[in-house]
Structures are given as structure tokens and as C-alpha cells.
Amino acid sequence: MIVNGILLTLLFVIFEFYGLLSANTIVWGPGLNPKIVLPARYFYIKYNQDELNIEDFNVIISGKTKIGNKCRIWTNILDRKDASFLVRYKLYEVCYDLIILVEDLKTHKKHVNNFYQGPVYPDECDCSKMSIDTWLSEAGCKTDIKQINSDLSHFKKIDFNNVLSKMVKFFSQHSHSMSTCQYVVKNNLIFRKCYGEYTGFKMFMDNLLLSLSRKVYLPDLEFFVNLGDWPLSSPKNRFPLFSWCGSNYTMDIVMPTYDITESSLENMGRVSLDMLSIQGNIEKPWSQKIEKAFWMGRDSSKHRLNLVDLSKSHSDLINASITNFFFYKELKEKYGSGKKPISFFKFFDYKYQLNIDGTVAAYRFPYLIAGDSLVFKQDSEYYEHFYNELTPWVHYIPIKRNLGNLVDLIKAMINDDEKAKTISLNGQKYARENLAPHDILGYYLLLFQKYSKLLISTVEVRDDMEAVINTKTQLDCECDNENIRDNSKMEL
Ligand SMILES: *[C@@H]1O[C@H](CO)[C@@H](O)[C@H](O)[C@H]1NC(C)=O
Ligand SMILES: *[C@@H]1O[C@H](CO)[C@@H](O)[C@H](O)[C@H]1NC(C)=O
């Protein structure tokens, strides 16, 4: 049975994941695999020709409800402007007889013509869980990540009976400056208790855990999440603590930032900037971009003010402005009282982008490299979960922390446009292939799986913990019970 299952899965992955290959067209992506439930599903179409218009092909995604009506599906095609397209679609109800069709209108060749009897579930439904290993393999996610291995290598084993009281004591003493939550996942149900004055950001972790627990069977877990930006696990206290940002001098276990996590869970919803939308909203091609470095943002570090100074003395090379004053209010006059922000997509009217630390790492970095401009990145002690997979001079241009070599490097890149373009495309390729929503969810799943193996204390819901439950309006999911029973059998 199991062997059969694996074989079928393999065949399924080969056929469905990559789509049908024709001489000129490839269609691939997790959205072709209906078993992988995502907030918005997506796949890619790539033509082996330089020019191809959206009008040249037809994409149909349709299905029926249980009683035979047309299923409500929102479909959106993003032109990546390199003869490739991103198709995303969202189910608003449970669909049967789902058809995914990509057809070339000139030749009437069908590149994908998939049919699924269903049921295919919207993201809100808690109907189709699988093991983490199955999810990762069906979604085509990595199963070995250097950053996870290195973060966890600091802990041979984790015994909460030993660390809990120390952590609680420490965080309670610093409740004005540190906010953390302790989570327990037991039998795929989620519980938490928070410490600190400002715990609003717990909603990001709540949403993530709820979403994951609908997709997979999470292992039993007990862990602390740092809700603030600054990493807090020092070599002295060695707390096993999950943080959104890491640093050269701390030992926090890094997870994708709350920003990219939230946008991965909302990738066709109210958040407009996410790793998918960035791929279809850039107007100017490389040759038409303004040959200047662009930056805009909040005054959350002195470096950013220094950059604005630099842009004043080199206005032919750099356009930089502060949108909001909060940290350096007294300098508001000097730096021009807050420029009106422009859409992030308009940043890419400029050929060069600057990634300058705020209080910690600038969480815009994934979106910057996903664009088609060249990114200059300031040296930093802070990093996000993926930085160590990037190579300076391959994916971005490294600049000194004091920005001392920025002007020279911009000039050098203006004089070597081929190189600049190549590096920009390398960065973009990395982002497209490694930072899509399923990669972000996959990172968490792998992290939780590996972390759970280090836990030696028994995971129990602790006193005073609150259950984390889905408070969003529930769809009528009509879970197919057969399906659930089968799945749970498979897991045993
Ligand atoms: C800087 O960029 C903004 C946004 O594109 C633009 O409105 C402004 O005119 C630019 N400033 C200079 C000095 O070019
Ligand atoms: C932090 O570590 C990275 C990787 O070892 C290094 O490239 C970078 O220069 C360090 N930055 C600071 C400010 O410590």
C-alpha cells in the first residue's frame, strides 16, 4: 500500500508538477498540484521565445460545487515580462471536477489539460492534512536548509523543564522592552502564553500556526517566539528562542520575518506587496530604467540619514528620502519633512536599489531582489532566514556598513551594464525559486520538524495557556470524511 502510494505520488509529481512539456512551453509550479493547499495557488508558464503576449494563450481554471454549480474561483495572470507568466488562483469554495487548462491560441496546442475529480479545498478548510514529509515533497520544497541546521546545531537537546523557568524569569524582568510568547502544539492544537507589554505581533505566529495545522500534522512542540525585532538569545543565556531576525552575535533560531510570513499567507488578499505580486507589477524594462540608485523609507537608523546626506551631494547618482520621522524627529527639518511614499513597484523605475538596515535587517530585501533592478546591500550583523544562500557579487553588490564605497560602486556598475544586469537577474532568479509562499511555509515546517526532534521534555499544555483558535468566518467546507479517514490511516 505504502509503496504504491509513493509510486503514485512520484508519477503524480512528475506529471502534474511540471506539467506537460512541449517544444516551446513549460508549465510548472505547486498550483498544478491540487493536494497542496495554499492561500492562493500558483503556477508558471514559460515560453521559449523572446516575445509572447498574454493574448496569445488562454488559461481556464474552473470547477463545480458539490451540487453542480460553477465554482467560485478568482484567477489572475501576472506578466513577468520575460516571456514568462505567473498564474495565481484562489478557491472560494470546495470544488469538484476542477480543470486547469493552458492553451496556445495560435496553434490550439494544449500545454496543460489537467482534470481533478476533487474535492479540492480552499485554504480555510481543515480537511486535507498530510505528513510534513509528504507536504514538502508534494510542494517541491527543500528538505535540507543550511540556516536551520546551523541554528539548531547550538542545541544538542532542548529540555523545557530546565530552561522554562529561566526564560520566564528573564522575560518577565524585561517585560517593558521584550515581548515573547511561549507556544505549545499538542495533537495539532495550538496553545500559548505571552510575556511583555506589547504582544500584538503574536497574531502573525497565531495565523501561521493555524494555517500550517490545517495543512499538515504538526509534531508536538513547545517553543518561545520573540515578537520583537532584536534577537535576544545571547551566547551567555543560550535560550532556544525563535526570532524573525538573526545576528552575528546572537544564537536565536531564525524564522522567515513576520512580513514575508504574513504576505505568504495573504498572497492574493489585502496585502498588495507579496512575492507573487512583485513579479507582475514592474513597468520599466532594464533599458528604460533611470540610472540612479533609489531608496525611500523610515528614519529607523542613522545609516539611512547618512544615505540621504550622500544623495544630496551626489544627486546625479542617488535619489534617497525619508518618508516618516520617528526615531530622529528633531532632524526632521534638516532632512525635509517626510516625503510622500511612492508605490513599492515604482521603486523599480530605477536601475539600482539600496538595502539599508533599519533597527535590524531591512525586511524589504526579499522584495528588492525579486525585482529586476540591481540591489546594493549594506554590510550588516543582522540577517533574515535566507541571506546565507546569497553570494555577494553574484546576487547583489555588497557595500560597506558606513556606505563609504557606495558612490564608487554605483559608478562602476554604470560602466559595466552587462555585469549589473547579470547580477540583478541572478538575484531575481534566486528570489523566484526560493522565496515563494510555499518555500516560506516549507521553511517553517522543516524547522518545526527538526526542532521537535531535539525536544526531550514531554510536551504538555501548561497552566494558564490560552487556546489559539481560528476566529475568521468559517466556510462551509463539507469535508469529505472518507478522505480524512484515509489520510489519518496513512499517517499511522
Ligand atoms: C526622487 O524620486 C522621486 C520618486 O520617483 C521623484 O518624485 C523625485 O522627483 C526624485 N528626486 C530627484 C531629485 O530626482
Ligand atoms: C556578519 O557576518 C557575515 C557573515 O560571516 C559577514 O559577512 C559580515 O561582514 C558580518 N557583519 C558584521 C557587521 O559583523
Q: Residue 280 carries which DSSP code?
A: S
Q: What is the pTM of this model?
A: 0.91
Adjacency order of strands within the sheet including 397-399: 318-324, 290-298, 350-355, 374-378, 397-399
CB-ligand 1 contact for 315 (6 Å cutoff): yes
| CA dist list (Å): 388 to 145, 147, 244, 420 | 10, 7, 15, 21
Q: In 3D, which of 246, 269, 244 has the Cα closest to residue 259?
A: 244
Q: State the number of CA atoms in the 13 A half-sphere of 88 facing the CB.
A: 22
Alpha carbon of 379 to ligand 2 centroid (Å):
7
Confidence (pLDDT) at 367: 97
Give the pLDDT confidence score for residue 51 in this predicted structure: 64
**Which CATH architecture best describes the domain 25-123?**
Sandwich (2.60)
User: Quick check: bond before 119 cis, omega within 30?
Assistant: yes
Query: Which residue, judged by its Cα, is nearest atom 11 of ligand 1?
Result: 319
CA atoms within 13 A on the CB side of 406: 32
CA angle 98, 104, 110 (to 5 degrees): 45
- The three-class DSSP label of residue 135 is helix
pLDDT digits (tens, 9 = 90+) for 16-35: 444 444 457 789 999 999 99
Q: Can you tell me the mean pLDDT for 229-252? A: 95
Distances (CA, A) of 197 to 168, 181, 202: 14, 11, 12
Ligand 1 centroid – CA 306 distance (Å): 18
Q: Which amino acid is at 359?
A: T
Domain boundaries, the chain: 25-123, 146-264+438-467, 277-435
**Is the pLDDT score of 83 beyond 90?**
no
Q: What is the average pLDDT across 426-452?
A: 98
In 3D space, the residue among 248, 224, 204, 191 whose CA is nearest the CA of residue 465 turns out to be: 191
Q: What is the pLDDT of residues 33-77, one digit of tens each?
A: 999 999 999 999 987 766 667 788 889 999 999 999 999 999 999
What is the pLDDT, as a whole number, of residue 333? 82
Tell whether ligand 1 has an atom less than 6 A from the beta carbon of residue 62. Answer: no
User: HSE of 78 in the Cβ direction (CA atoms, 13 Å)?
Assistant: 19
Q: How many CB atoms neighbour CB 473 within 10 A?
A: 6
**What is the Å distance from ligand 1's center to 375 Cα?**
18
Q: Cβ distance 446 to 147 under 8 Å? A: no
Beta bridge partners of 90: 74
| C-alpha 24 – ligand 2 centre gap (Å) | 44
Phi-psi region of 97 (alpha: psi -120 to 50; beta: other; left: phi over 0): left
List, in order, residues 6 or more apart from 430 with CB less than 8 Å away: 369, 389, 390, 395
The answer to whether residues 435 and 137 touch, using CB atoms and an 8 Å cutoff, is no
Q: 290: Cβ below 6 Å to ligand 1?
A: no
What count of other Cβ atoms lies within 10 Å of the Cβ of residue 387? 17
- Decide whether 25-123 matches 277-435 in CATH topology: no
So what's the architecture of 277-435 in CATH? Answer: 3-Layer(aba) Sandwich (3.40)
